[in-house]
Structure 1
């Protein structure tokens, strides 16, 4: 009976926490389909009385599609670079014992603790010196530099949880270390890979400070900058602001829902066994 009571209590607490986390998103999504008069009505209604897509039409007319495409391009480029560079580095840390390995791990952990804002001035200077200001390539390289340490850390801890016997078996069949990594280790490390990718995607998708610093032209800017522009452009018109916020929020939310079991396994599997 006591065990059942604890189970019910945990369920109730979990449901309350889930409701508290989801309510602002669901209320914002509902409000994005409301008319301007209904949005500011008090007390507010949970569901729109007269649903309308006018808010989404307004932000589409303002060019939200181009900003969305820029964010997709930058996020995808950052993820690809982080995986291509991070997987071999993580594998080396997980499987090789070499001079300076401990120092490398300490540096990786230390770099993860540096606030991004404190790196803006040297980042701006470096990107300007190499001629990549106001380019998506420059932004992708900066995001990769910022997120590569955490990707390496997550992948290395997960690689350590895998039995080395599988790798030795693959190498006995003629695979090189590099082939073993890409054909054996990474397919088995899907949860760890998903966890690393989600961390990278969330940063690249949501970043405002770095993007607004490095991108000056309107057609190059990403979605977070667009939402800020809508704030100034629309003033007190909350409908388009809510619609643009939902366009930025829903894709990441759906991605987490689809990959949540891999994310949890990736964070706990490597952390427990690594």
Structure 2
């Protein structure tokens, strides 16, 4: 009976996993299929998953419309904001663990409170401030806002890791002749890689997929992000599904590559932060 129950449980688990895979991967596979079809085949009845005559015409249209520059804009905003947020958040997380910071608990509660506020609720007052500062519709606007959103999360993730590192490791490094910076950089940071990568992944996904903040803070066509540029393929008389799906495929590739390359660190970082934070 126990053997039968185990087999039934495994079958149910496999069925649930298969269903989850279809739900998650189905739209991506269909977007890829649509991006490789000609306009006539996109609306063929019955629809076909595998294109009869694959074509790259929709990707060529994206290049002709200059979408590659929007891709580079998104990459620039994302990399700059994530690098700054992880550097500041990691430094703050270390300081909260190793130094007697005044009102430490209040600061942690403040960080949690900031994380709970929807960033979109502050866009209009932020826009007014940026206009007065002269950074509205510039390449500084989006990285500043993205980094401000990610820093509290990075503080919590890195603090959870640094709290588990024995002080004796740093003291031994100092005894060996390392400076404080060298001890942290060569002894502490390598062990904090999962937490840092998890925080960077959170910031990457937020900045890369953002649409509302980008449309509010950027107006110039040459500063548009990829999600904003793809919206213009909807048109007034109908959506250009081929170009839209080609854009979806391009926009989906970086997050997929990120997960495949760093999946081990991502799983370890998020589980560590959730358990020890």
User: Residue 90 of structure 1 corresponds to which residue in structure 2?
Assistant: 93
Length-normalised TM-score, structure 1: 0.94
RMSD (Å) for aligned C-alpha atoms = 1.7
User: Residue 29 of structure 1 corresponds to which residue in structure 2?
Assistant: 32
User: Residue 236 of structure 1 corresponds to which residue in structure 2?
Assistant: 239
Length-normalised TM-score, structure 2: 0.93
CA distance in 2, matches of 1:126, 1:175: 44
CA apart distance, 1:8? 4.2
The alignment status of 1:121 with 2:120, answered yes or no, reads no
CA distance in 2, matches of 1:81, 1:257: 23
- Contact conserved, 1:94 with 1:156, CA < 8 A, in 2? yes
CA distance in 2, matches of 1:219, 1:226: 10
For residues 1-274 of structure 1, what are the structure 2 equivalents within 5 Å? Answer: 1=3, 2-232=5-235, 235-274=238-277
- Contact conserved, 1:91 with 1:181, CA < 8 A, in 2? no
Provide closer, same or farther for how the CA distance between residues 233 and 189 of structure 1 changes in structure 2, counting only shifts above 3 A: farther
CA distance in 1, matches of 2:184, 2:9: 44
- How many residue pairs align between the two structures? 274
Gaps of 5+ in 2: none
CA apart distance, 1:68? 0.6
SS of the aligned residue for 1:50 comes to: coil
- Contact conserved, 2:95 with 2:101, CA < 8 A, in 1? no
Please say which of residues 204-213 and 181-190 is displaced more in the overlay.
181-190
CA distance in 2, matches of 1:86, 1:180: 18
Gaps of 5+ in 1: none
SS of the aligned residue for 2:206 comes to: helix
Please say which of residues 111-120 and 146-155 is displaced more in the overlay.
146-155
